[in-house]
Amino acid sequence: MLLNFATETDNVIPLHVVETDGLDAALKGLSDAGRGWATAQGFKAALGQVLTVPGDDGAITQVLAGYGTAGNRARGRFHMGTIAAKLPDGVYQIASGLSGADLEEAALAWLLAQYKFDRYAVSTSTGAQLAATEGIDADRIATIATGEALTRDLINTPASDMGPQELEDAARALATKHGAKIEVTTGDDLLSAGFPMIHTVGRASSRAPRLLDMRWGETGPQLTLVGKGVCFDTGGLNIKPGSSMGLMKKDMGGSATVLGLAHMIMGLGLPIRLRVLIPAVENSIDGDAFRPQDILTSRKGLTVEINNTDAEGRLVLADALTLSDEDKPDLVISMATLTGAARVAVGPDLSPFYTDRDDHAAAISDAARAVADPVWRMPFYEPYETMIEPGIADLDNAPKGGMAGSITAALFLRRFIESPYIHFDIYGWQPTAAPSRPKGGVGMGARAVLEALPKLLNL
């Protein structure tokens, strides 16, 4: 879904953002009739409150948008999304009350509030459109919003229409749009190409597993993004209960997020070499499904004892991470809906991430605050390494006991890579509607990474 600013320049309605302590000044700027209207409507500039001010003919002449206090706003984000959702159809422009980074965040929030997943039930409403305010980087904001919309669309699409082939189709379409190159290794060719664990996880499905490998850019530092592309996860032979399987169309949320981030990077023309690796599989049940206690040999040569076939994401990522390491990139970032433990630890709104480097952690954390994309650093806690060492193989894919599940999964992945590495264990789903984030698939961490790239890659 393309999210962009309105191109209509006629009949643009000015919108004035009003904080609570600026209410008196805002009211003084109205006509006597306007002040009377504001008083009659009980406008107090509370956060999210909207007042449309009519002219003599009843048409809206301007809008006052309540922005509350700094304390109110600190308890949430994308407040302009709430305001945009309350306005009638029309074209608006933020005329006063915000500047700089606050104005850009508000503009992004407005665009993201326009998102609708309309593949199966088309909406006829255009909603309140936003005309760009002079001084903002409208192209950058629209590119970021469209990348986020791509992520949401991919996650929201049910597995019946978003299997490994369809995920490949989406990656190919993105590559074509931006002039990137893409290679795909499919089915039994994964074995001869040296991706045994991707093949093993996906072989029981009627939809062939594959590895997507996209490259873009000729100069600059190399960034490799690796996204988990499990298009549906039954849990394999350790089958999930129905209550846990209901949202498994989102188990490719990592791949959706790196594709959205790739769109942002390529669309903005960043001076880097980008590589995107996505192991795309469906974890199904059939006669040749992999089994608990099987021992697999990875691309890296490390052996893995399978103690739960529902811990499959780290297996496919391991082969992809090994490949990512082979051309010595400057930085590798993986994104995956990897563990329920991450969701339990920090909830659905924070993106937990792992890195050994304090400078990388600081860059991401600072960027996350700047662009309202919250993250939380988690530890590669080395004393837990023994928890992923089963004794009869090099690694255990699902340590018993359930302790520190997100950390042990991250430690497992780190065994397969030597390049500078950051891992995100995201949820990828908005469980209840929030400003600019309808219930459903959502990108997590991508905008923080994008903002941090100049420091992460010394651009």
Task: Show which residues are catalytic.
Answer: 240, 314
Contact assessment for residue 397 and residue 308, using Cβ atoms and an 8 Å cutoff: yes
- Given a contact cutoff of 8 angstroms between Cβ atoms, the answer to whether 351 and 371 are in contact is no
Work out the burial of residue 433: count CB atoms within 10 Å of its CB; fewer than 13 is exposed, 13-18 middle, 19 or more buried. exposed
Name 2's Cβ contacts closer than 8 Å, sequence gap at least 6: 146, 149
Whole-number Å distance between alpha carbons of 364 and 331: 13
User: Side chain identity at 323, as an amino acid letter?
Assistant: L
